[in-house]
Structure 1
Amino acid sequence: MPYMYILECSDGSFYVGSTFDVEARLWQHNHEGGAAYTRRRQPVKLLYFEEYERIDEAYAREKQVQNWSRAKRRALIDGVGMELLPELAKKRRRPPPLVE
């Protein structure tokens, strides 16, 4: 089954990806480099994953979560109710500049 997953890197940053085999992909990230981003931030650990029927669904979810703020990703990982995610997204937006 395809998966979307979130890793925590050694520097505390998150990496979001998708794969057919989470365990094999985690091993690659820690031993064969996996991705350029994680290669420089080993070791990595799996924090979260979601299972999908098709790889295109997992990939679409990967792209969605990649565009989220750190706070929103952390809320997903921690299992905070989905109803709070829109509020976290609002906190990321900056107010428009004041025009005098």
Structure 2
Amino acid sequence: MAKAYYFYVLLCADNSFYGGFTTDVAQRFATHRAGKGAKYTRAHPPVRVLYQEAFKTKHDALHAEWAFKHQSRQKKVRFLRAHGVTLPQ
């Protein structure tokens, strides 16, 4: 089976979102939780994985990450809801 590449979205403690790319979502989430992930998640501790999507190519996963990060919060919320994610109030 071919390696999968993932785009994922984390919910942070301050109710912000963090979008990222990895080949192993659980491992990457653990890295973020340990304070060893991205600079953003060191300042905004992640609470849970809200969304993940597998892609066949690294390029496609990175493109999904880029597209998510360059949206307004309102559009990010719409994207997540459209993909069946229930967001906290």
- TM-score tier, shorter chain, comes to 0.7 to 0.9
Identity in percent = 36
Q: Which has the higher helix share?
A: 1
Unaligned 5+ runs, structure 1: 81-100
**What is the root-mean-square deviation in Å for CA atoms of aligned residues?**
1.6
Give the SS at the match of 2:20.
strand
Residue 63 of structure 2 aligns with which residue?
Answer: 60
Larger relative contact order (Cα-Cα within 8 Å, sequence gap ≥ 6)? 2
User: What amino acid is aligned across from residue 29 of structure 1 in structure 2?
Assistant: H
Amino acid at match of 1:36: K
- How far apart are residue 40 of structure 1 and its match? 1.3
Q: TM-score, normalised by structure 1?
A: 0.74
Match of 1:16 among 16, 19, 22: 19
Query: Do the aligned partners of residues 43 and 16 (structure 1) sit closer, same or farther apart at CA in structure 2, a change above 3 Å counting?
Result: closer
What is the CA–CA distance in structure 2 between the aligned matches of 1:25 and 1:73, rounded to whole Å?
21
The structure where strand makes up a greater share of residues is 2
Could you state the TM-score of these two structures normalised by the residue count of structure 2?
Answer: 0.82
Q: Runs of 5+ in structure 2 lacking a partner?
A: 84-89
The higher radius of gyration belongs to: 1
- Total equivalences in the alignment: 81
Amino acid at match of 1:3: Y
| 2:36 maps to 1:49 | no
2: distance between equivalents of 1:72 and 1:32? 28
How far is 1:37 from its partner?
0.3
